[in-house]
Structure 1
């Protein structure tokens, strides 16, 4: 099989507010919107200039899931744990962490060395509790 990563789908309670936050915080552009016929499911596909996508999904009566305090707690629940974004410039984890927190992201793990030798990482959460990791593998 030849495959490459395309996108991550995240269910959100307020589609329009989530689109605004992800567009502004992660510099994504709206690729397309959709609704699934015969259901109440709507979504928006957002794209980063580097190629990755985030699909925001909304169903009006969706049940809230667990909102972990950080990556260790997230690993205690099977399923989605976090979305990881690699930074391009050494030292950028700290800068992007501060920028995302200023944009309304929750602090989940301040910038620090990663358990992976030579890497630096941090975790924030979007306004809905979904974890986002920042990593610099060349730190």
Structure 2
């Protein structure tokens, strides 16, 4: 089987500059590069945090995010890509930090199978953060 590794996630937003600022201010990503994709009519940026990359698209004439895509349980009821998830060491500490940064916390999950939370970024797209025991 061919080998492969994760390269990046991507998200479409109404304002590229607002999203670049939000990902930097709230999650600590830095701008790696900015470019235009003519075939998609997209002003695009690649942001990075350590080995993690995230591609942000501002597509000319794009439709807004449907409301049900902003709510984790409703979003799962529609086929397609759902969200990207990042690992955190301590969910409670992460939630405190997100609260201080006034992040929009959509859902907190505390189940026997694990703990996580979903936040909405500046355009309403969902991002999951999972506390994972790596011991």
Is TM > 0.5 for Structure 1 vs Structure 2? yes
Higher helix share: 2
Structure-1 residue corresponding to 2:123: 128
Q: Secondary structure at the match of 1:113?
A: strand
More off after superposition, 21-30 vs 64-73: 64-73
TM-score if structure 1 supplies the norm length?
A: 0.84
Residue 100 of structure 1 and its aligned partner are, at CA, apart by: 2.2
TM-score if structure 2 supplies the norm length?
A: 0.86
Residues 60, 101 of structure 1: alpha-carbon distance in 2 compared, 3 angstrom cutoff: farther
Give ranges in structure 1 of 5+ residues lacking alignment: none
Residues 1:3 and 2:4 are matched in the alignment: yes
Task: Say whether the 8 Å CA contact 2:65–2:124 is kept in structure 1.
Answer: no
How far apart, CA to CA, are the structure 2 residues paired with 1:2 and 1:34?
28
Higher strand share: 2
How many residue pairs end up in the alignment? 132
Aligned counterparts, 1:1-139, within 5 A: 1-37=2-38, 40-49=41-50, 51-67=51-67, 68-87=69-88, 89=89, 92-110=90-108, 112-114=109-111, 116=113, 119-138=114-133
How far apart, CA to CA, are the structure 1 residues paired with 2:4 and 2:112?
28
Give ranges in structure 2 of 5+ residues lacking alignment: none
Residue 115 of structure 1 and its aligned partner are, at CA, apart by: 5.5
Over the aligned positions, Cα root-mean-square deviation in angstroms equals 1.9
How far apart, CA to CA, are the structure 2 residues paired with 1:115 and 1:62?
40
